[in-house]
Amino acid sequence: MKLLGKYWKYINEGNAHIVVQLLDTNYVLRLIKEDERTDPKSVYDHVNFVNLIMIPLLGNKFYGKEEAIEMSQYDLELLSKMLLPYRPQNRIFKSVLSQIAIKATNLSIVSSQCDTNYCIEIKPKEGFMSSSLRKYSTCYYCLKQHLKLQTGAIRQTSKYCPLDLFSGERERMKLSLLNMINNAQNNFKIFKNGLLKYDEKCEQSDFEYILKDMDYFSDLNQFLDFIIDILLSDINEPYIQLQKTKNICMNDKPSQCYESNNLKSNSFLYKLLQLQKMSDSYLFDVENERNKHSNYVSKLIEQLETLGLDLTRENDRETFLKTTNPIHLALISAVAKDCSIMISFSTNFVENYPYVDTGDSKIFYKLAVTDLEPKSPNTLYKRKDTERKMIEIYEKYRESLEKEQQ
């Protein structure tokens, strides 16, 4: 059986999607899993939300446009049966698929024409100190680590702090990446030719083997510099000359999270951080607005059409931010806080793609962001409840530390 005229292979799946790669193309097909048949309008609205709002706001030029694809019921039933041998047992209970699937750029590869493709996935999380947590001098991610430990979701807290990654300071960024690699949780993954090779289930020795097998970098330090230079670069730069920097000594994470602002306004990380901060930049009352925004995605799309806005234009972006309901901006911000950064790269030449010159070779790369689908309005209400639980646990943790020090 072919999909869109192409052979395919199963890649992975989450709670909402099964992802299959369309072979010999630069695309994947995301099959939507639902307990009931998916409302077609909501799928098209979600695709428009990604294409018309999230991609232009992030300057996400290598993502391409998503496309809604309708499948016949016969093809869908046949595909469901063919997928069964590849799917994890714990996912099979959710097997009703929508007839509408989403075709999207395959971000785990630079190009299907490359002999070898590597990809680093980073889920950076919230890169600033929200106003509600400043008095604790601890960011949302680091506070949530204590909650996850208490509930048994993790065995040990991570030393990774998003504020280090978003600091724009090379040494702190390098430390954050090392901490992420050492305790990957759901924040760091490596793919080779579209297949997952390193994640939280792997050992540190697995990472060392992959880095050696990659044979692109002289050592770990150069690998980290490669990632940092791409994150800090002007998104329109045709190439990056990789500079040799000093190795970093691993230090324990400071007792407090430290926020700094050294990102250049033309860098990718800066654009992402500005979107994340919208939840703190505009005033809104979550409780009083609780049941009024279930169709907010449709309203945002209508707003763009009514005002004739194209968010690839700076003036239109400013108009959009001024005229949009603050709660809707907070929901866009929630997407930016939970997205994944994808850096795919290869030493094979790819025309019109930027590259990093290491001195020994040119590494062509593609920087993009995924997981851009709209969040439910319940996300904002859950956030408040989670903050309350985190603060309770963190205060108890601080009290126990103080007692130990007495």
Question: Is the Cα torsion angle 32, 384, 270, 167 positive or negative in sign?
Answer: negative
Buried b (16+ CB within 10 A) or exposed e, 106-144: bbbbbbbebeebbbbbbbbbbbbbbeebeebebbbbbbb
Question: How much is the pLDDT for 226?
Answer: 96
Rounded to whole angstroms, the Cα distance separating 301 from 53 reads 9
Write down how long the chain is: 406
Give the closest residue to 118 by CA, choosing from 359, 342, 356, 351: 342
pLDDT reading at 36 higher than 60: no
Question: How much is the pLDDT for 14?
Answer: 77
Token pair for residue 253? 């994470």
Give the closest residue to 273 by CA, choosing from 260, 289, 286: 260
pLDDT reading at 37 higher than 80: no
Tell me the average pLDDT across 151-174. Answer: 93
High-pLDDT (> 90) share of the chain, %: 62
Tens digits of residue pLDDT in 227-277: 999 999 887 888 999 988 877 665 566 678 999 889 999 899 999 999 999
Rounded to whole angstroms, the Cα distance separating 272 from 298 reads 23
pLDDT reading at 193 higher than 90: yes
> Which amino acid, residue 228?
I
Sheet of strand 355-357, all strands in order from the earlier edge strand to the far edge = 195-198, 188-192, 118-122, 340-346, 362-370, 355-357, 239-241
Specify whether the CB–CB gap between 345 and 110 falls below 8 A: yes
Non-local CB neighbours of 39 within 8 Å, separated by 6+ positions: none
Tens digits of residue pLDDT in 68-119: 999 988 888 899 899 989 888 888 877 788 889 999 999 999 999 999 999 9
Considering the entire predicted model, what is its pTM?
A: 0.91
Question: How much is the pLDDT for 29?
Answer: 94
Q: E strand or H helix at 30, and its extent? A: strand 27-32
Specify whether the CB–CB gap between 173 and 260 falls below 8 A: no
Secondary structure tally for the chain: helices H, strands E: 14, 12
- Torsions phi, psi for 8 (to 5 deg): -140, 165
Burial of 45 (0-12, 13-18, 19+ CB in 10 A): buried
pLDDT band at 63 (very low <50, low <70, confident <90, very high): confident
Q: Give the highest mean pLDDT range of 69-73, 257-261, 308-312, 382-386.
A: 308-312
